[in-house]
Structure 1
Amino acid sequence: MKTIIKHLQQLVAGIFILLTTGCNKNFLDRQPDDMLDLDAVFAQALETERYLANVYSFVPPLGDGNQGFEGSFMSIADEADFGASFMYANHLHNIGNWGPSTTVFDFWTYLYQGVRSASVFIARVDECQEMSAELRKQRKAEARALRAFYYSLLLRQYGPVVVLAETPFEIDTPPESLQLARTPYDACVQYISAEFDQAISDLPARITDQGQLGRVDQLVVLAAKARMLLYAASPLFNGNADYGNFVNPDGTPLINTVYDHEKWKTAADAAKAVIDRMPSGLLIKTDETGSPNPLSSYRDVFLDRWNQEIIWGRQPKGELLDWHWWQHCAPHQAGGEAVYGATQQQVDAFFMANGERPITGYNTDGSPIINPRSGYTEQGFAEETTQYWNEGVSKMYVGREPRFYATISFNGASWVNRGEDGNQSYRFEFWAGGADLVGDNYSKTGYAIRKFIHPSTVWNPNWANVTVEKLQDIIFRLGEVYLNYAEALNEYDFAGNQVEILHYLNLIRKRAGIPAYGTAPGQIAPPPSQSAMRDAIRAERRAELVFEDLRIWDCRRWKIAEQTDDGPFYGINIKGGSHLSDPLLYKRVVFENRVFQRKHYLWPIPQTEVERNRQCVQNPFW
Structure 2
Amino acid sequence: MKKTLVIIVFAVGLFACRKLDQPITREFTETAYWRDQQDALDALSACYEHLSKTDYFFGDEGLSDNAYVNGSGFLNVTAIANGGYDPSNARVADNWGYYFTTIRRCNILTGNIDKVPKLDSTLKHRITAEARFIRAYAYFQLATWYGDVPFFTNVLSIDESRTINRTPKNTIIQFVLSELNAIRADLPVNNYSGSSGYADKDKGRITRGAAIAFSARVHLYNGEWQAVVSDCELLINKTENGTYGLMDDYASIFTVGNEYNKEVVLDLQYGGGRTYDVQRAFMPQTVALLRSVLVPTQDLVDDYVMTNGKGIKEAGSGYNENDPYTNRDPRFNATILHHGSTVTDFNGAVQTILTQPGSNPATNTVDDQGASPTGYYFYKYYDRTSTNYQSGLNLILIRYADVLLMYAEAKNELAQLDANVWNNTIRALRVRAKFTDAGATEFNAALTQEQLRTVVRRERRAELAFEGLRVYDIRRWKIADQVLAKPVRGIKVTSGAFNRDPNGYIIVANRTFTNPKHYLWPVPTFERDQNKNLSQNQGW
CA distance in structure 2 between the aligned counterparts of 1:503 and 1:565, rounded to whole angstroms: 32
> Closer, same or farther in 2 for the Cα pair 1:126/1:413, shift >3 Å?
same
Correspondence 1:397 to 2:325: yes
Q: CA deviation at 1:553?
A: 0.5
Q: Find the counterpart in structure 1 of residue 466 from structure 2.
A: 547
Unaligned runs of 5+ in 2: 1-5, 11-25, 193-198
SS at match of 2:44: helix
2:41 aligned to 42, 46, 49, which one?
49
Asked if structure 2 preserves the Cα contact closer than 8 Å seen for 1:85 and 1:440, the reply is no
Asked if structure 2 preserves the Cα contact closer than 8 Å seen for 1:61 and 1:473, the reply is no
Deviations 1:266-325 (A, max 9, x none): 1221222232334242111xxxxxxxxxxxx11111111011100111222478854331
Deviations 1:3-36 (A, max 9, x none): xxx94159xxxxxxxxxxxxxxxxxxxxxxx974
CA distance in structure 2 between the aligned counterparts of 1:124 and 1:334, rounded to whole angstroms: 46
CA distance in structure 1 between the aligned counterparts of 2:481 and 2:280, rounded to whole angstroms: 32
Q: CA deviation at 1:523?
A: 4.1
Correspondence 1:590 to 2:507: yes
Asked if structure 1 preserves the Cα contact closer than 8 Å seen for 2:346 and 2:385, the reply is no
Q: Find the counterpart in structure 1 of residue 32 from structure 2.
A: 40
Instruction: Tell me which amino acid in the other structure corresponds to 1:78.
Output: D
2:253 aligned to 301, 305, 309, which one?
301
Correspondence 1:152 to 2:140: yes
SS at match of 2:414: helix
Asked if structure 2 preserves the Cα contact closer than 8 Å seen for 1:570 and 1:591, the reply is yes
Q: Find the counterpart in structure 2 of residue 608 from structure 1.
A: 526
Q: CA deviation at 1:157?
A: 1.4
CA distance in structure 2 between the aligned counterparts of 1:473 and 1:482, rounded to whole angstroms: 19
Deviations 1:112-132 (A, max 9, x none): 111111011001112112632
Asked if structure 2 preserves the Cα contact closer than 8 Å seen for 1:327 and 1:335, the reply is no
2:266 aligned to 312, 329, 343, which one?
312
> Closer, same or farther in 2 for the Cα pair 1:575/1:72, shift >3 Å?
farther
Instruction: Tell me which amino acid in the other structure corresponds to 1:330.
Output: P
Q: CA deviation at 1:333?
A: 5.8
Q: CA deviation at 1:457?
A: 5.2
Q: Find the counterpart in structure 1 of residue 430 from structure 2.
A: 509
CA distance in structure 2 between the aligned counterparts of 1:185 and 1:198, rounded to whole angstroms: 20
> Closer, same or farther in 2 for the Cα pair 1:205/1:94, shift >3 Å?
closer
CA distance in structure 1 between the aligned counterparts of 2:333 and 2:119, rounded to whole angstroms: 50
Q: Find the counterpart in structure 2 of residue 185 from structure 1.
A: 169
CA distance in structure 2 between the aligned counterparts of 1:455 and 1:570, rounded to whole angstroms: 29
Correspondence 1:203 to 2:187: yes
Q: Find the counterpart in structure 2 of residue 471 from structure 1.
A: 393
Instruction: Tell me which amino acid in the other structure corresponds to 1:279.
Output: T
2:219 aligned to 226, 229, 234, which one?
229
- Percent identity reads 27
Q: CA deviation at 1:501?
A: 4.4
Asked if structure 2 preserves the Cα contact closer than 8 Å seen for 1:189 and 1:229, the reply is no
CA distance in structure 2 between the aligned counterparts of 1:78 and 1:318, rounded to whole angstroms: 34
Alignment of 1:106-255 (within 5 A): 106=93, 107-129=95-117, 131-164=119-152, 166-170=153-157, 175=160, 179-206=163-190, 208=192, 209-233=199-223
Deviations 1:461-486 (A, max 9, x none): xxxxx475631011110001100111
SS at match of 1:348: helix
Q: Find the counterpart in structure 2 of residue 452 from structure 1.
A: 381
SS at match of 1:337: coil
Q: Find the counterpart in structure 2 of residue 565 from structure 1.
A: 484
CA distance in structure 1 between the aligned counterparts of 2:534 and 2:42, rounded to whole angstroms: 33
Relative to the length of structure 2, the TM-score reads 0.84
Asked if structure 2 preserves the Cα contact closer than 8 Å seen for 1:446 and 1:573, the reply is no
Q: Find the counterpart in structure 1 of residue 371 from structure 2.
A: 442
Asked if structure 2 preserves the Cα contact closer than 8 Å seen for 1:108 and 1:154, the reply is yes
Correspondence 1:408 to 2:400: no
Instruction: Tell me which amino acid in the other structure corresponds to 1:141.
Output: A
CA distance in structure 2 between the aligned counterparts of 1:564 and 1:444, rounded to whole angstroms: 19
Q: CA deviation at 1:110?
A: 1.1
> Closer, same or farther in 2 for the Cα pair 1:492/1:182, shift >3 Å?
farther
Correspondence 1:267 to 2:185: no
Q: Find the counterpart in structure 2 of residue 31 from structure 1.
A: none
> Closer, same or farther in 2 for the Cα pair 1:591/1:486, shift >3 Å?
same
2:316 aligned to 373, 379, 392, which one?
373
Q: Find the counterpart in structure 1 of residue 88 from structure 2.
A: 101
Alignment of 1:322-337 (within 5 A): 322-326=276-280, 328-332=282-286, 335-337=289-291
Q: Find the counterpart in structure 2 of residue 8 from structure 1.
A: 8
Asked if structure 2 preserves the Cα contact closer than 8 Å seen for 1:515 and 1:524, the reply is no
Instruction: Tell me which amino acid in the other structure corresponds to 1:168.
Output: V
Deviations 1:532-566 (A, max 9, x none): 11111101011001011000010001000011111
Asked if structure 2 preserves the Cα contact closer than 8 Å seen for 1:527 and 1:536, the reply is no
> Closer, same or farther in 2 for the Cα pair 1:315/1:419, shift >3 Å?
closer
Asked if structure 2 preserves the Cα contact closer than 8 Å seen for 1:72 and 1:90, the reply is yes
Give the RMSD, CA atoms, in angstroms.
Answer: 3.1
SS at match of 2:341: coil
Asked if structure 1 preserves the Cα contact closer than 8 Å seen for 2:489 and 2:509, the reply is yes
CA distance in structure 1 between the aligned counterparts of 2:434 and 2:145, rounded to whole angstroms: 34
Greater radius of gyration (CA): 1
CA distance in structure 2 between the aligned counterparts of 1:356 and 1:79, rounded to whole angstroms: 20
Asked if structure 1 preserves the Cα contact closer than 8 Å seen for 2:82 and 2:512, the reply is yes
Instruction: Tell me which amino acid in the other structure corresponds to 1:531.
Output: E
SS at match of 1:300: helix
SS at match of 2:308: coil
Q: CA deviation at 1:346?
A: 0.5
Unaligned runs of 5+ in 1: 1-5, 11-33, 234-262, 285-296, 359-369, 380-394, 459-465, 579-583
Q: Find the counterpart in structure 1 of residue 449 from structure 2.
A: 530
Q: Find the counterpart in structure 1 of residue 59 from structure 2.
A: 72
